[in-house]
Every structure is written in structure tokens, then in C-alpha cells.
Homo-oligomer: A and B are copies of this chain.
Amino acid sequence: MSSPRSAAARVTMRDVASVAKVSTATVSKVLNDRPDVGAEVRQRVLDTITRLGYRPNTVARGLRSRHTGTIAILTDDLEGIFTNALMRGVEDAASTYDVSVLLANSYGDPERERKHLRRLLDRQVDGLIIMSGNRVRPRTGPALPLPDTPYVFLYEYGVGQAVPSILPDDRGGAVLAAEHLIEIGRRRIGFINGPASWEVTADRLEGLTDAMRAAGVPLDPAFVRHAPSWAPEDGFALADAMLAAAQPPDAIFCASDDLATGALAAIHERGLSIPGDVAVVGFDDRSLAVHQRPPLTTVALPLLEMGLVAGQRLLAAIDGEAQQHELIRIECQLRVRASTVGAAAFRRP
């Protein structure tokens, strides 16, 4: 009494071979587009394959051919605010090439990280994406004994220029923001940067400084501040302090959308209009940006593209192309919304 479905053993290459009256070698050649198969036989094999519904077993294939068609994402924070978008990019790139993606979460714990790495290598992954994606604590790169397997760092600051690595163009993003504010006529620009312990804050400050110097607009040091954290509360506090000045800023650039939402609240609370009295620009383009009141102009991190590029670079390296051991920066984009342009519609009643 065997149910027909569950008893239905998988169709194997041997089955195809015997039905098509050829050897398994020939079936394999057809499957892998090898040249030394006659047209007639090839067609017969293909017909048999579809008729029997044969699907090659990836595990067996992997054992023999040494590559499994699998890459892994090893991250320190699966719930990081940027993790999803980065992962989606990687997954997109991978699934385009019929490659599967394994997921491993280390919580930033080196011990877990090593354990996962071992497990992944035992699994014969063809490549690794080592990714951060959080804004909780800075990383200076994982403490991994790096394997022979190809790998790419994604959104990992502090791993240097000499390893394959993908980062956003933080400096360029800040330039975009500054140029935009200058273009709409702002001259007293405040900058609420992230915590100084984050490497990224230096690049963003540099971009802002450079752009303003280029435009001949002075940057008041009193209006350039590092927040103690990336949280809205700190954005609120620092913006509030700046607005209390005798000559308050007419624009505030924040190094994160979270900081910017705090700044928006501080401006509202003082009864000032946005962007009439103070324009605000954020950084990241998280989903909350568009739902602010007013919707927040912000510098969009190219997370999806970063993930895509990381995936493509890794797959290229797996395919045998010489891996370029260098840092690649992906351009940010400015998303202009009502917090910098348009009627001062969001003044409080």
C-alpha cells in the first residue's frame, strides 16, 4: 500500500538514459551543452527529460564538480536597518544566475562568525558576501581567518582599500546635499553628523566641507556637530540647540534620516516653517523619510545597487575572472522632497 505520490522516487539521470537508450554520460553532455553529441540523440534526450520531468540533483552535481551554485551572506546583524535592501540586491544578482543564497547571522560575535564560516565552507559554498548592515555599533571588519573561497565585503567599513569591498559614496552624497541646499539659496547650513566613532562620518563631513568651500559659502563650526548616537532624540537635541542661536541656521543637513526626523520635530516645536524658515536634508532614504511631515529630502543610499554589484563581483570571481582587490564606491542619489522645496505648507497652525 504505497501512495503513488510519496512512493514516486525521484527521476534520475539513469532513468533518462535508459529510456532514451543512451548512457548517462551522454545525458550529462546534453545537459551541459557539450559539443560532442549528435543532433538527433540530443533531441531524443531532451524530449525524454521533459517527458519524465527529470531535474538534475544539485547535490550530486556539486559533489563531483566542486561547485555548488551557492553563495552565502554572512552578516553581523540580520535585523540591521540596511540589511534587507542589501540582501535583496545580492539575492537578485544570484538568482539571475541560478545561484542560491545561504544566510548566516553572527550577531557580531566572532565566535559565531567563525562557526558559521566553517559550516559554510563545509557546505562548499562557492563564495561569500561578508556584510554589515547595522547602525548599532561600528565594525572594523570581521576577525575572520579568510578562506581561499572568493569573497566580497559589503557595507563593511574599516576593511581597507586592498580587499574586494563595496561601499556607498558617502562623500559624494554629502556633496549632493550641500549643493542642493546652496542652490536653493541657503547660506547658514548646519550639519548634524553621526557619532565620531563611525568612520563614515568623516567622509560625509568632508563632502559637505568641500562642496561649501567650492561654492564659497562659509561653514560655521558652531553648526557642525557630532551626535552621540544616530537616534532621532539626538537629532532633536542638536537641532534645538542650533535653533536657539542668535542667528539660527536656515538649513540643517543630517547624516541620517533618523537624526533628521528629530530635527524636523525640533523645528516644528519652535513654530518654524519647513522649508520656509529651515530646510532639512537627511541621509539614507529609509522608508520613514517619505512619510515625514513634510516628506524629507534625503540622500539615498544605493543599497540595492550595492548588493547587486557585490553579488555580480562575487559571481564573476567565482567564474574565474581575476578578482579585483579594491574598494568600489557606489554613487548616492538625492531625493528632493518637500522639506527643502515647495510651498512652506507645513508651517504649524
Q: In the complex, A103→B81 CA distance in Å?
A: 18
Q: In the complex, A122→B57 CA distance in Å?
A: 5
Give the contact stretch, choosing among A113-121, A170-178, A322-330.
A113-121
Question: Is B55 within 8 A of A122, CB to CB?
Answer: yes
Q: In the complex, A85→B77 CA distance in Å?
A: 11
Question: Is A101 within 8 A of B98, CB to CB?
Answer: no
Query: In the complex, which residues of chain B have a beta carbon less than 8 angstroms from the beta carbon of A57?
Result: 63, 122, 124
Question: Is A63 within 8 A of B55, CB to CB?
Answer: no
Q: In the complex, A91→B105 CA distance in Å?
A: 7
A35 at the interface (CB under 8 A from B): no
Name the distance in Å between A62's Cβ and chain B's nearest Cβ: 5
A285 at the interface (CB under 8 A from B): no
Which A residues are within 8 Å of any B CB, using their own CB? 5-6, 55-60, 62-63, 68, 70, 73, 78-81, 83-85, 87-88, 91-92, 95, 98, 100-105, 116, 118-124, 148, 231-233, 236, 258, 261-262, 265, 268-269, 271, 287-288, 291, 293, 348-349
Name the distance in Å between A99's Cβ and chain B's nearest Cβ: 9
Question: Is A91 within 8 A of B78, CB to CB?
Answer: yes
Name the distance in Å between A75's Cβ and chain B's nearest Cβ: 10
Q: In the complex, A269→B347 CA distance in Å?
A: 10
Q: In the complex, A105→B115 CA distance in Å?
A: 26
Name the distance in Å between A224's Cβ and chain B's nearest Cβ: 24
Nearest opposing residue in chain B for A293, CB measure:
B265
Name the distance in Å between A329's Cβ and chain B's nearest Cβ: 23
Nearest opposing residue in chain B for A69, CB measure:
B123
Query: In the complex, which residues of chain B have a beta carbon less than 8 angstroms from the beta carbon of A265?
Result: 293
Question: Is A84 within 8 A of B88, CB to CB?
Answer: no
Query: In the complex, which residues of chain B have a beta carbon less than 8 angstroms from the beta carbon of A83?
Result: 84
Question: Is B63 within 8 A of A261, CB to CB?
Answer: no
Nearest opposing residue in chain B for A271, CB measure:
B349
Q: In the complex, A56→B288 CA distance in Å?
A: 46
With A101-B102, A101-B103 as known contacts, state yes or no: A56 contacts B122, CB within 8 Å: yes
